[in-house]
Chain A
Amino acid sequence: DAKTTQPTSMDCAEGRAANLPCNHSTISGNEYVYWYRQIHSQGPQYIIHGLKNNETNEMASLIITEDRKSSTLILPHATLRDTAVYYCIVLTTSGTYKYIFGTGTRLKVLA
């Protein structure tokens, strides 16, 4: 079973920040949080990942709570091209690094 919980869908106005939450209350101390997105009929695309500290790259910021039970992906200035399904994944560290996808959040950026 997926180890994450995300809202099914969200809307965001173009140019505004999109904040996508993820609940991972059973995360273990050595498990990372990864975020990917999937634009319609394409393979998922890596966005960002983190362990404890907040992270930022050219695409997004990742805020992880101190207890690590939840995180938020922030797209600072959403554009229409950011419309996609966003997946939050907690990496199982069983040695195979396999991903278990949850249902994801369908983000729709509105003009």
Chain B
Amino acid sequence: GAVVSQHPSWVICKSGTSVKIECRSLDFQATTMFWYRQFPKQSLMLMATSNEGSKATYEQGVEKDKFLINHASLTLSTLTVTSAHPEDSSFYICSAPSQAGYEQYFGPGTRLTVT
């Protein structure tokens, strides 16, 4: 079946630095991808919709200048957490919808720890 990958699977960074997370659709094209954040023992929270060739659409309360999203190709979306702080430590997950229907393929997630 269709696969979505994420890189890196985990990252530790110092406070104030920026971190880039990649999301790739491996065997299908995705004009739209979604980014979620998940804190421990909580549900997934949709952060933004990444649109190939255009600006991302952010959910209410998500700072677009802090979470930069770039969807430069049909198989790659990136999320950059700028000037990361310890409160940004979380599990970040991306997904891409299937071409045939509404099913979403989720990546394995990236665990970010900011020290």
Binding site for B on A (CB under 8 A): 2, 32, 34, 36, 38, 41-46, 49, 87, 91, 96-104
**21 sampled A-B residue pairs with Cβ under 8 A:** A34-B103, A36-B104, A38-B44, A41-B91, A41-B109, A42-B108, A43-B95, A43-B108, A44-B44, A44-B93, A44-B95, A46-B103, A46-B104, A46-B105, A87-B44, A97-B102, A98-B34, A99-B104, A100-B46, A101-B36, A101-B44
Distance in angstroms from A84 CB to nearest chain B CB is: 13
Q: Contacting A99 at CB < 8 Å: which of B34, B57, B108, B111? A: B34
Residues of A with C-beta under 8 A to B36: 101
Is the pair A43, B103 in contact by a Cβ cutoff of 8 Å? no
- Scoring A34, A36, A43, A46 by chain B CB atoms within 10 A of each residue's CB, the highest score goes to A43
Is the pair A41, B49 in contact by a Cβ cutoff of 8 Å? no
Cβ-closest 6 pairs across A and B: A43-B106, A101-B44, A101-B43, A44-B106, A43-B108, A97-B97
Residues of B with C-beta under 8 A to A41: 91, 109, 111
Residues of B with C-beta under 8 A to A97: 32, 97, 102, 104
Main secondary structure of the interface of B (DSSP, over half): strand
- Scoring B45, B57, B103 by chain A CB atoms within 10 A of each residue's CB, the highest score goes to B103
Main secondary structure of the interface of A (DSSP, over half): loop
A32-B102, A91-B102, A96-B57 in contact; A43/B107 too (CB < 8 A)?
yes
A102 to B34, CA, bound (A): 16
A34 to B46, CA, bound (A): 16
B42-81 residues with Cβ-Cβ distance < 8 A to A are: 43-46, 49, 57
Q: Contacting A43 at CB < 8 Å: which of B32, B49, B57, B93? A: B93
A41-B91, A41-B111, A43-B93 in contact; A103/B43 too (CB < 8 A)?
yes
- Encoded as 1 (CB less than 8 Å from any A CB) or 0, chain B from 85 to 106 comes to 0000001010101000011111
A34 to B102, CA, bound (A): 9
A38 to B104, CA, bound (A): 13
- Scoring B46, B49, B102, B107 by chain A CB atoms within 10 A of each residue's CB, the highest score goes to B102
